[in-house]
């Protein structure tokens, strides 16, 4: 994870205008989503800015955050200096309890809990490893430590997986319009497993993210004919 953070910090800087975004229509107005890098993305809706897992030197010229969501304690998800850069008066930070030990101003949201914020419903979804870890008997991500999120706005549901394998809680999700699903070894899962989990909960649109070193063609091929739209974006733009 430290190596991943160093790579993020050393990557060339893209200005906001260079970053492609996708927009989704909802009953409350459009939701604009911009990939930033690796696990980081920006969501804009209703005049508010949400930064998810902001890490690294990628935010020059970007708007300050009204809400910051953090999924985990690892350095490619939690960066106090980047959080400080994006904060302004009134910024709300939502994170699991393990993150709040470091980012002490964060409002804690535990797995399966829900918060309302500025027209959004924010639900914390478990994210964890089932079998992969740094050594026998250990896991890279323990159950209950981190949060994935389902964000609902204007009737549309957006899922951010965080670092996880294809856990039962992911497979049981319902009515997801847009999903961001991780895949990288050894920390989460390979594309084949990610695709199998995605087939179980059937989002309308899925983006692979947090995919450094993964073969996205495998993921795309596995979902061909499923009726699920796969959108590939460059989260590691040079």
SS3 at position 210 = coil
Q: Which is higher by pLDDT, 92 or 3? A: 92
pLDDT in tens, 63-110: 999 999 999 999 999 999 999 999 999 999 999 999 999 999 999 999
pLDDT at 10 over 70: no
Provide the pLDDT confidence category of residue 237 given band limits of 50, 70 and 90. confident
Inter-residue contact 9 to 56 (CB < 8 Å): yes
The superfamily in CATH containing domain 22-230 is Ribonuclease Z/Hydroxyacylglutathione hydrolase-like (3.60.15.10)
Domain ranges of the chain: 22-230
Q: How many CB atoms lie within 10 A of CB 104?
A: 9
Number of alpha helices (DSSP H) and beta strands (DSSP E) in the chain: 6, 14
- Angstrom CA distances, 13 to 9, 10, 157, stand at 9, 9, 31
Q: Which of 48, 33, 26 is nearest to 179 (CA)?
A: 33
């Amino acid at each position: 994870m430290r190596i991943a953070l160093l790579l993020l910090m050393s990557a060339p800087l893209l200005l906001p205008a260079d970053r492609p975004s996708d927009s989704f229509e909802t009953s409350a107005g459009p939701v604009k989503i911009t990939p930033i890098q690796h696990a980081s993305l920006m969501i804009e809706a209703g005049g508010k800015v949400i930064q998810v897992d902001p890490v690294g030197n990628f935010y020059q010229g970007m708007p300050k955050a009204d809400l910051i969501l953090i999924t985990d304690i690892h350095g490619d998800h939690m960066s106090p200096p980047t959080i400080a850069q994006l904060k302004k008066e009134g910024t709300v930070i939502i994170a699991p309890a393990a993150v709040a030990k470091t980012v002490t101003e964060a409002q804690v949201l535990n797995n399966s809990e829900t918060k309302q914020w500025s027209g959004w419903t924010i639900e914390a979804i478990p994210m964890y490893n089932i079998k992969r870890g740094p050594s026998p008997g250990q896991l890279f991500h323990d159950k209950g430590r981190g949060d994935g999120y389902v964000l609902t706005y204007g009737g549309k549901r957006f899922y951010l997986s965080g670092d996880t394998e294809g856990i039962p809680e992911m497979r049981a999700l319902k009515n997801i319009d847009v999903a961001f699903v991780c895949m990288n070894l050894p920390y989460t899962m390979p594309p084949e497993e990610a695709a199998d989990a995605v087939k179980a909960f059937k989002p309308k649109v899925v983006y692979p993210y947090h995919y450094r070193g993964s073969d996205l063609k495998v993921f795309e091929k596995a979902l061909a004919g499923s009726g699920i739209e796969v959108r590939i974006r460059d989260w590691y733009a040079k």
